[in-house]
Amino acid sequence: MQCPVCQTPMIAIELDEVETDYCPECQGIWLDAGELEILLEDADQTRRLLDSFRPAETTETARLCPICLKSMQKVYVEPSNKAVLIDRCLKSHGLWFDRGELMQVLQQGAFDEQGKVAKLLREMYPPEE
Amino acid sequence: MWEQIRVNKRNSVILLGLMGAVLCGLGFLLGFAFGGGPEAGWVGIFVAACIWVVMMMVSLFSGDQILLASSRAKPVTEEVHPQLFNVVEEMTIAANLPKMPAVYIINDPAPNAFATGRNPQHASVAVTAGLLARLNRDELQGVIAHEISHILHRDILYVTVAGVMLGAVVLLSQVFFRGMFYSAWGGRRYSSRSRENGGGAQVLIMILAIFAAILAPLFAQILYFSLSRKREYLADAGAVRLTRYPEGLAGALEKIAGTELSMESANKVTAPMYIANPFRGRKAVNLFSTHPPIEERIRILRAMSHGAGFKDYNQAFEQVTHRVGVIPPSAVGSEDSIGIRQGALPTAEEAAVKHPQHQIGDIIRKVNGFRFISCSCGLRLKLPPDYNGKTIRCPRCKRTLNI
């Protein structure tokens, strides 16, 4: 699978039963359909997050879904104070998060009360000094 | 039971005959329209018949391989997924098949399954990775029993051959339209000849041919799809009989219906083979529906409270749909009553494995030549075969790892 940004092969990384596809070049994350649910460990929360997407009008160039190679839709993630712009495959193959975006979404959306997922992500992607 | 298989075999032969007739009729009209006379029409029939025979031969001897390859199914060994093999083995014995079908896994996150082959001696069962990831053992058993029932009822040959035939009819009408397109450019010779023969009949035949070329693929498709819908109910009934546990298949269908994923590796011709329609977002049931509505199938299965026999399925079917039962009377009459068994509790192993998705993903990655590296910080890295670097930096602890 190619990174939608760098077009280089992505690698899969797994820690404590949580798996994501990761681009070693740009440090973006691709979440396959269903992986978000594993990450949040809750179907209702996942539904809430997925329902909160709002199509965005933006001039950013569309990226291609690494699975079906069709253009992905830019969506704002809500509820949050500062909406995060992510890419969603229209055929529900998955979601693309640029570096750090996944963490922003989870922290701002108050989806993770215990901060367990965020902690895991912070370990996986510590902020570079 | 045997009566039902015989009816199925007869229906298949009638269907194939009809499709052959459609193909030959199309050939005649096309030959007539292009060649400008009845004698050319006979050549058209001959060509169409040749195509029919070749297609039949191809689909009989390698149709299953073509369909498996076009679905991107990969053969697996027992080590890759022991539970799947265990369930297929179990259902092979329950159905008294002469040989265990070959087992394939399709690398697709949408849950679905199909069976193909020539006869019970040469049969294959294919399931998607998404199906394995979502279903528990009882549900997987229900799906496999449904597929084994297709093998037992001789549906697999029909679907394989009819699918290839449908392809032939579509191909021929495509050839016609392209032929028309090109003869319109360089067709002076034909048009002058047709004027000599008296244009009226020629024009009439041409119009007929256009209609035939449009309608024949539709007609063939309706035939193919209408028969495949009834077979789904019969395979559901067969699956309940084999497993004695309607809730297994009902639960599996519910999970399949609950996903919004369309299958990437399915197409119009292979769609009727699958346990549930592989395309999402087409709700209405019409002449072109390949499958009965999945909610109705679930309701019928859930309405079976007295037993797991064909008679019980028929009763549940009539109760839910208010239509005449789908099971042939001979199969209902001669049957001993079959009880429903209790569902199994999840095994310790199932409870322990939290996310089988990753296991399945790992299996498919191994099949596809991925390399697995474990970093000492606990992170597992899975590198695709096209990753060229000699080293990689662990994204968690920033160690440099040698590949």
Q: Find, in chain B, the residue whose alpha carbon is nearest to that of A120.
A: B396
Q: Taking a C-beta distance cutoff of 8 angstroms, is the pair B237, B313 a contact?
A: yes
Confirm or reject contact between B262 and chain A (CB < 8 A).
Answer: yes
Could B393 and A1 be called an inter-chain contact, meaning their C-beta atoms sit closer than 8 Å?
no
Band the pLDDT of B298: cuts 50, 70, 90.
very high
Contact residues, chain B, for A43 at CB < 8 Å: none
Averaged pLDDT score across all residues of chain B: 78
Q: Which of B70, B90, B151, B88 is nearest to B115 (CA)?
A: B151
Q: What is the pLDDT of residue B26?
A: 78
- Same domain assignment for residues B160 and B25: yes
Residue B363 counted as domain residue = no
- Same domain assignment for residues B75 and B208: yes
Q: Which of B223, B252, B224 is nearest to B236 (CA)?
A: B252
What ipTM was predicted for this assembly? Answer: 0.81
Interface test with chain A among B363, B372, B396, by most A beta carbons within 10 Å = B396
Q: Which of B326, B329, B298, B303 is nearest to B314 (CA)?
A: B326
Q: How does pLDDT run across B330-343, given as a tens digit for each residue? A: 666 666 667 777 76
Q: Which of B53, B127, B205, B133 is nearest to B361 (CA)?
A: B133
- Same domain assignment for residues B391 and B285: no
Residues whose CB is less than 8 angstroms from the CB of residue B259 and which lie 6 or more positions away in sequence, other chains included = B110, B111, B130, B134, B280
Residue B70 CA, distance from chain mean position: 11
d(CA B91, CA B89) in angstroms, rounded, equals 6
Handedness of CA B232, B237, B242, B243 (dihedral sign): positive
d(CA A80, CA A108) in angstroms, rounded, equals 5
Q: Find, in chain B, the residue whose alpha carbon is nearest to that of A13.
A: B381
- Same domain assignment for residues B52 and B23: yes
Which tops the pLDDT comparison, B160 or B346? Answer: B160
Q: Taking a C-beta distance cutoff of 8 angstroms, is the pair B238, B39 a contact?
A: no
Residue B364 counted as domain residue = no
Residues whose CB is less than 8 angstroms from the CB of residue B288 and which lie 6 or more positions away in sequence, other chains included = B221, B222, B225
Which tops the pLDDT comparison, A95 or B51? Answer: A95
pLDDT of B191 strictly over 60: no
Q: How does pLDDT run across B19-77, given as a tens digit for each residue? A: 778 778 878 877 777 776 777 778 888 888 888 788 778 777 887 888 888 888 888 87
d(CA B31, CA B29) in angstroms, rounded, equals 5
Mean pLDDT across the stretch B226-244?
85
- Same domain assignment for residues B103 and B26: yes
Confirm or reject contact between B365 and chain A (CB < 8 A).
Answer: yes
Mean pLDDT across the stretch B180-208?
59
- Same domain assignment for residues B139 and B164: yes
Mean pLDDT across the stretch A4-22?
84
Q: What is the pLDDT of residue A67?
A: 86
- Name the DSSP class of B262: P
d(CA B224, CA B271) in angstroms, rounded, equals 11
- Same domain assignment for residues B52 and B175: yes
Q: Hey, what are A42's tokens?
A: 């809750």
Could B378 and A12 be called an inter-chain contact, meaning their C-beta atoms sit closer than 8 Å?
no
Question: B20-25: long-range contacts (C-beta < 8 A, 24 or more apart)?
Answer: B20/B49, B20/B52, B20/B165, B22/B169, B22/B216, B22/B219, B22/B220, B23/B48, B23/B49, B23/B51, B23/B52, B23/B165, B23/B168, B23/B169, B23/B172, B23/B216, B24/B48, B24/B49, B24/B52, B25/B212, B25/B216
Q: What is the pLDDT of residue B253?
A: 93
Q: What is the pLDDT of residue B281?
A: 55
Lowest mean pLDDT among A112-121, B8-17, B139-148, B185-194: B185-194
- Domain containing B221 equals 1-354
Lowest mean pLDDT among A114-118, B47-51, B69-73, B263-267: A114-118
d(CA B363, CA B370) in angstroms, rounded, equals 10
Each domain of chain A, given as residue ranges in start order, spans 11-124
- Same domain assignment for residues B375 and B247: no
Which tops the pLDDT comparison, B256 or B357? Answer: B256
- Same domain assignment for residues B393 and B301: no
DSSP string, B313-336: HHHHHHHHH-S--SS-HHHHHT--
Q: Count of A–B CB contacts within 8 Å?
A: 67
Band the pLDDT of A51: cuts 50, 70, 90.
confident
Q: How does pLDDT run across B132-151, given as a tens digit for each residue? A: 888 889 999 999 999 999 99
Q: Please give the tally of structural domains in chain B.
A: 2
Confirm or reject contact between A19 and chain B (CB < 8 A).
Answer: yes
A115-129, B363-377, B384-398, range with greatest mean pLDDT:
B384-398
Could A11 and B109 be called an inter-chain contact, meaning their C-beta atoms sit closer than 8 Å?
no
Could A12 and B381 be called an inter-chain contact, meaning their C-beta atoms sit closer than 8 Å?
yes
Q: B379: distance to nearest CA of chain A, Å?
A: 5
Q: Which of B147, B295, B335, B349 is catalytic?
A: B147
- Same domain assignment for residues B235 and B376: no
Mean pLDDT across the stretch A14-42?
81
Confirm or reject contact between A34 and chain B (CB < 8 A).
Answer: yes
Contact residues, chain A, for B354 at CB < 8 Å: 17
Band the pLDDT of B189: cuts 50, 70, 90.
very low
Mean pLDDT across the stretch B182-195?
51
Residue B361 counted as domain residue = no
Q: How does pLDDT run across B62-121, given as a tens digit for each residue? A: 878 888 888 888 888 787 788 899 999 999 999 999 999 999 988 887 889 999 888 899
pLDDT of B188 strictly over 50: no
pLDDT of B230 strictly over 50: yes
Could B109 and A34 be called an inter-chain contact, meaning their C-beta atoms sit closer than 8 Å?
yes
d(CA B270, CA B265) in angstroms, rounded, equals 9
pTM above 0.80, yes or no: no
- Same domain assignment for residues B343 and B391: no
Contact residues, chain A, for B131 at CB < 8 Å: none
Residue B57 counted as domain residue = yes
- Same domain assignment for residues B268 and B315: yes
Q: How far is the CA of B155 from the CAs of A31, A121, B5, B287, in angstroms? A: 39, 50, 9, 20
SS3 B10: helix
Least CB-CB distance to A14: which of B358, B386, B388? B358
Could B384 and A92 be called an inter-chain contact, meaning their C-beta atoms sit closer than 8 Å?
no
Contact residues, chain B, for A46 at CB < 8 Å: none
Q: A59: distance to nearest CA of chain B, Å?
A: 29
Q: What is the pLDDT of residue B187?
A: 47
Q: What is the pLDDT of residue B248?
A: 92
Confirm or reject contact between B361 and chain A (CB < 8 A).
Answer: yes
Could B384 and A9 be called an inter-chain contact, meaning their C-beta atoms sit closer than 8 Å?
yes
Concerning whether B147 is annotated as a catalytic residue, the answer is yes
Residue B153 CA, distance from chain mean position: 15
Q: Which of A16, A36, A25, A38 is nearest to A123 (CA)?
A: A16
